[in-house]
Structure 1
Amino acid sequence: MKHVAAKHAPARLITLGPEGTFSHEMALKMGLTKPEEIVLLPTIHGIVAAVARGEGDGIVPMENSEAGSVGETLDGLARHPLFITGEMYMPIHHNLASLVPLEKIRVIYAHPQTHEQCSDAIERWGVPVIHTSSNSSSALEAKKTPNAGALIPVIAAEIYHMPILVRNTENNAANTTRFVRISHAPVHDKMPEKCSILIDPDRDRSGLLHDLLEAFARRNINLTRIESRPSKRKIGEYVFFLDTSWSEKTADAIAELKTITGVKELGCYREIGVPE
């Protein structure tokens, strides 16, 4: 995988904390190590709001190969005037850590996405799970709770001095999370690799989804992802997030969509390579 060039790294990244989250690890992989260069906030909502205020660029998880999309990120992109300016991929490995042996663990702390990604192992252990706001919080809660374990990344185990009992507890060895870099301004790249848009239909009618997809199919543009999310206005009303491979015809397809329904362009961008 390509290494990110230093000139492309923003001077300040806002991402999910506390220290020891996969998001924090991704920020470190991008070459930022000084305290003032990485701002850790407890929620994705807070990150998105801070980026919208112009306080820096953000790094947020977009989707996971096992657990699917991250709803908070999609909702934030829909609610705020933000742009995706790059994407990064990270192999995700979870580990069971505890201050006591496995047979003495009576409760496991885990982030909901971590729980879903490690559901097979949790089922085998037969131990109750308590959800937390982050992988780092899982480590902190397990440290102060008798006979508790935590499902956490290696970086969190190292930071919070939690011995790892079982490594690689994820269901799928190819478990991967896609992160995106978000900014209050778009990038202007003449040859991006991917474009993302949000479609907010102004009315419900037969054939609408067909018309939306046909604008890309007719131009032989590949849709790499499509997902619906509740509009949050009323039951049964949805918005659609689309990722497309970039081509010289992509702008024409998006322009056609704007004549059909409401469209918000989230940006055209490249993958940012990061060290393994």
Structure 2
Amino acid sequence: MTIITLGPEGTFSHELTLKMGYSGTVTLLPTIHRIMDAVARGEGDGIVPMENSEAGSVGETLDGLSRYPLFITAEMYMPVHHNLASLVPLEKIRVIYAHPQTHEQCSEYIEKWGVPVIHTSSNASSALEAKKTPNAGAILSASAAALYRIPVIVPDTENNLSNTTRFVRISPTPAGDDHPEKCSIFIDPSTDRAGLLHDLLEAFASRGINLTRIESRPSRRGIGNYVFFLDYAWSPRTADALEELRGITTVKELGCYRKIGVPP
């Protein structure tokens, strides 16, 4: 099996993929959308970040799931610890490279240091930029710092030491699990009326189905126009809820799946 995930080497996505011990080829691509495009074309399964306990949802993943014909087939939770790494001491750092999500997860330290931040496409890219820029630092994982041979000068720079990222495995076909734990859907309302969101949620509440997450995203059809992503605990009454929803809105099923444990 080919697994496609976010590169270059040293990203948290790459680290998770290695921890999961998948046999076969690991392909690294520079963006989440390129990963989803490759998976949709049948080049392999993908592993992408979905949300973080500190910074919230990964918009690029949500947008890609709404556009590509893909399914979530598993979810994984990995503790995430960040570190400031540099070839110079902290007092000599004049710029810090960080991924936007990393920046948000480490905002308290960054604010305290008062050093300008330049955003990158991945934590590994931050390492590469820091190595070639004089008096620069990068915020990244300990494994990425070791891989790119940049000393860690401030460990555990995340705002919360319980910082965790949820990753999902994506595939062109659903998991086909007879006993899944969770399901995800994408909803694109066709109307804008009072009580619409209530009716969408009532389809689950009236059947005792536990909604574990709801997220709105811009529909890109104009200001104030939104689409919704919902996660909910699987139930035998799920099919009835989806049938009711299809009577009032457009629904795209993103799959039902289980949580997979991540080795330490």
**Same-fold status (TM-score > 0.5):** yes
Aligned residue-pair number: 264
**C-alpha offsets along residues 146-182 of structure 1, whole Å, 9 cap, x if unaligned?**
1111000011101100100111000011100000000
Q: 18, 23, 27: which one pairs with 1:39?
A: 27
Q: Which amino acid aligns with 1:114?
A: T
Partner of 1:71: 59
Counterpart for residue 195 of structure 2: 207
- The normalised TM-score by structure 2 is 0.98
Structure-2 residue corresponding to 1:252: 240
Aligned to 2:4: 14
Q: How many Å separate the matches in 2 of 1:33 and 1:241?
A: 32
- Structure 1: 5+ residue stretches without partners: 1-10
Query: Structure 1 residues 54-63 or 231-240, which shifts more?
Result: 231-240
Three-state SS of the structure 2 residue aligned to 1:127 is coil
Measure, in 1, the Cα distance between the counterparts of 2:226 and 2:163: 28
Q: Does 2:30 match 1:30? A: no
How far apart are residue 209 of structure 1 and its match?
A: 0.5
Letter in 2 for 1:176: T
Residue aligned with 1:39, SS: strand
Alignment match, 1:224: 212
Q: 1:33 to 1:125 in 2, by over 3 A?
A: farther
Distance 1:32 1:151 in 2: 27
CA distance in 1, matches of 2:243, 2:144: 45
Opposite residue 3 of structure 2, the aligned amino acid is L
Confirm or deny that 1:50 pairs with 2:38: yes
Identify which of 121, 142, 153 aligns with 1:133: 121
Read off the aligned partner of 1:21 and give its amino acid letter. Answer: T
Separation in structure 2 between the aligned mates of residue 192 and residue 252 of structure 1, nearest angstrom: 17
RMSD: 0.9
Give the distance between the partners of 2:104 and 2:137, measured in 1 at CA.
Answer: 16
SS at 1:61 equivalent? strand
Which residue identity lines up with residue 192 of structure 2 in the other structure?
A: D
Distance 2:22 2:199 in 1: 44
Q: Which amino acid aligns with 1:14?
A: I
Change (3 A) 1:135 1:33: farther
Summarize the alignment of residues 59-208 of structure 1 with structure 2, pairs less than 5 Å apart.
59-208=47-196
- Partner amino acid, structure 2, of 1:173: L
For 1:195 and 1:106, the matched residues in 2 are separated by 46
Distance in structure 2 (CA, Å) of the matches to 1:255 and 1:197: 13
1:235 deviation in Å?
Answer: 2.3
Aligned to 1:6: none
Q: Percent identical across equivalent pairs?
A: 76
| Distance apart, 1:231 and its partner CA | 1.0
TM-score (norm 1): 0.94
Letter in 2 for 1:27: T
SS where residue 260 of structure 1 aligns?
Answer: coil
Task: Give the Å deviation of 1:184.
Answer: 0.4
Q: Which amino acid aligns with 2:21?
A: G
Q: What runs of 5+ residues in structure 2 fail to find an aligned partner?
A: none
Alpha-carbon shift at residue 33 of structure 1 (Å): 6.6
